[in-house]
Every structure is written in structure tokens, then in C-alpha cells.
Amino acid sequence: MIGNWNSWSLNKHHHILLKLAVAILLLGFTFRLFVSDYKGFASDLESHMSEKDQAGERDVEPFVPGGIPENKDLLPIDVFTEKCDLFTGDWIPNPLGPTYTNESCPLIEGHQNCMRNGRPDSGYLYWKWTPRDCQLPGFNPERFLELMRNKAWALIGDSISRNHVQSLLCMLSTVERPVEVYHTEDNKSKRWHFPSYNLTVFNIWSPFLVKASIFEDINGVSSAEVQLHLDKLEKTWTDIYHSLDYMIISSGQWFLKAAIYHENDTIVGCHLCPGKNLTELGFEYAYNKSLHYVMDFIAKSKHKGLVFFRTSTPDHFENGEWHNGGTCPRTSPAREGEVKIKELSKILRDIELQEFVKAAPKAANNDVNLKLLDFTKLLLSRPDGHPGPYRQFRPFAVNKTAVVQNDCLHWCIPGPIDSWNDVIMDTVVNG
């Protein structure tokens, strides 16, 4: 009996221990579930608060259901937390092509109207710029116009700015066609209005951004050196600067021209002026000086809108330049590393980046929203996007072997320059 009792007592003891162990396991599992649910709720709450507190910031860490795996290589590209670099990417095939054509948009000037001028290939139209570390939505003209209601935009600079404004207006005209309300006698500066949105778009011709007297014809043939005042900003843009809500300012290629340089109303030197008995200072000197005054003006302006500074764009002349038979015959984007930036373009861009970097902290201290648009990489790999010989109407209609001037600096419209508007809209929306 004692033996049976001891056996029963031992069995009962084991049974109790087993129950206790199961209870502890269940309690631990329940606690783990609770903690997991709490963490999930906390992550949701943190994500929501982060989005609420930092709306528009691209570097907000997104909430990923189920947690983030250790191997980041397995992550989809849109959950990376690094700041998005819109200017480093690749051109990928886009079978949809452009949102407009030369027939649907009457705002394309003749020299960039490659379709009308008879360019036989169309493959250059079917590519889209895609950043490598984030998503870039396509330009949304309806949303852009709504965001720009009662606003004023200006694109200020040389013929590349005029090239760009045509692209922007063509994309917006798929929603509403703008009305041209002003132009200068030479048609180099214009103003358009979108009546339904009270949006005004300016294109302001100021290729140097500083005061300049220019002596050349419509084909770019100069009869005398440019007279360039390096320390006086051009009033065509500074006079309306404070009335603008958004602007894109750029310069560059024109500084390569022959010029006499003035400072404090005194001739101080020149670029490409043999026989003038003047000091050859070089275009680098002039561009540094001019951009310094431009950036200083912007940084100290206390302007409350958004100011973009755009770097100059690369050309793709091969076997010569604009004036001596250069061509750009390619019909597809270049592979990475296949096309190198030319030395002159690199010098211009280096000066631009240097002056921007110096001005940016000063602008921030004065609450000026100054941003950089560095499209050099974006367009360097698109030697196929220029008008080439199709800057003029059907150049080979009469003679298939005719020798004609090529344009390997400006861009066909529609064409690669349309992707600029994707980047600009994303920056406006997300900061």
C-alpha cells in the first residue's frame, strides 16, 4: 500500500510538474504573441507618425509588414531608406512612348521639331529615365497644374532653357493649351498663361545671366566679341525675380564664345581676342566670376519660392563641332561608360557645382529654397536624342548626300528632355 501510495504520489507529482511546464510554455507563447503584436502596432504607429510629421520627405523609413529581413539584397527597391538620387540611373525601354507628338503640340519650334523635319527613326522616343535606388513617377500634367494654380514659373537662361520650356508646355497642353500673352521682338523671351489655373510660365532669354552685348545673327555667326559685364546681373530676370514662385536658372555654353570682359565698368581682359592687346583670362575666369554674383544674389535674396539651378548639358558632336562638320548619327542610347563627357563640358559643370556648394549654406541660412538639377549623367548617355541634320525641314529631300549643319547640342521634342519634367515634378512634390 505504501509502495502504491508512493507510486501514485510520484505520478501525481510528475503530472503536476507536466501541467506547470505546459502552463509556463503557453504563458511564454502568449507573451511573445503580445509583444509581437505590440511591436507591430508600434511600428504602424511610428510609421504613421513619421509620415505625418515628415510628409514629403524622401528619406522617411517606410513600414514593411512582417519586419525587414537581414539580407537587404532581397528587398524591393522602394523600401530602401537611403535618400533618393534622381540623377543617377538608367534609360529603360518604354513602349508607351511620349504623351504628345509634334501634331498634338503646336508649341515646338522648328529646329527641335525632329518628327516634322523628317527624322526617319523613332526609337529615340521609347525610353524612360529610371533612378537606380528609388521610384520616379511619370509627369502628371493634371496634378502639376493643380499644384501650380495661381503661381508663376520661369525658365531663365539660353536656348536649352527655351528647348526645355517647349517640352514642359507640350506636356501640360495635354490638359489645357496655354495662351501666349507676350513675346519680345526677336521671340527669344515669351510668356504663356493657363487660364483655368491662372498659371503663368515665362521663358526669359539671358544666356550669360549677367549683362551682355551680343553681336550675332540667327545662325550664331558673330560679327564681334561679346561685351560681358561680369559683375552686373541681367535685369531681364532680376527685375521679376521676386514675383516668381518657381524658377529654373542655368547658363554655361555661351561662356565659350569670344568675349571682352568688364568689371566695375572697366575692361579687365578677354577670351579669344587675339590682336586686341588684352589679357587672355579664359572662360573659366568669367564663368566663375559671373556665377559667383548670380549665386550670391540668390542666396541673399530671402526669396520664399523654389529656385532650381540647373547644370549645363553635354553635347554629342562627333568628328567635329557645331561649326566644322560635327555630327551625331546614333539612334539608340549609349551603354554605360561608352560616352565620356567632353573636357569643356566638364570644366563648366565643375564650376557650376563648386559655386552651388558655396552658395547652398548661405541660402539655407536666409531661408532660400535653392536646389540643384544636375542632369549631366541623365543626358550624357543619350547621343541619339539630338536633331542632328533634322534641325531643318527635310534636309535630304532634294539631295540624299547633302552636307548640312548638324545640331548635337539641343534636343528633339518630344525626346529625352521630357524626362526632366518627371524629376522636377517629383522634387516639387517631395522636396
Please pick, among 164, 167, 410, 422, the residue that the annotation labels catalytic. Answer: 410
Instruction: Kindly state the greatest CA–CA separation across the chain.
Output: 131
Strand ranges in 337-426 using DSSP code E only, listed in sequence order:
369-373
The residues, ordered by sequence, that sit 6+ positions from 277 with a Cβ below 8 Å of its Cβ are: none
Helix, strand or coil, per DSSP, at residue 318: strand
Q: Name the nearest CA neighbour of 392 among 409, 410, 404.
A: 404
Specify whether the backbone of 398 is left (phi greater than 0), alpha (psi in -120 to 50) or beta.
alpha
Contact 138, 130 (CB under 8 A): no
Number of Cβ within a 10 Å radius of residue 39:
12
Whole-angstrom Cα distance, residue 256 to residue 127? 31
Residue of 158, 159, 189, 251 marked active site: 159
Q: What is the DSSP string of 215-274?
A: -B-TT--BSS-EEEEEEEE-HHHHTTGGG-SEEEEE--GGGGS-EEEEETTEEEEEES-T
Residue with cell 567635329: 320
Instruction: Assess whether 407 carries a catalytic annotation.
Output: yes
Beta strands in 88-197 (DSSP E): 89-93, 127-131, 152-157, 179-183, 190-194
Using alpha carbons, list the distances in angstroms from residue 362 to 298, 300, 355, 366, 372: 9, 7, 11, 6, 14
The question of whether 183 is a catalytic residue gets the answer: no
- Selected catalytic residue, list 315, 384, 407, 422: 407
Closest CA relative to residue 119, chosen from 431, 421, 430, 407: 407
Cell 536624342 -> residue: 385
In single-letter form, the type of residue at position 355 comes to E
Query: DSSP letters along 11-36, please?
Result: HHHHHHHHHHHHHHHHHHHHHHHHHH
Catalytic status, residue 161: no
Amino acid (1-letter code) at residue 143: R
Q: Is the separation of the CB atoms in 389 and 397 below 8 Å? A: no
Residue with cell 544666356: 207
Active site residues: 159, 407, 410
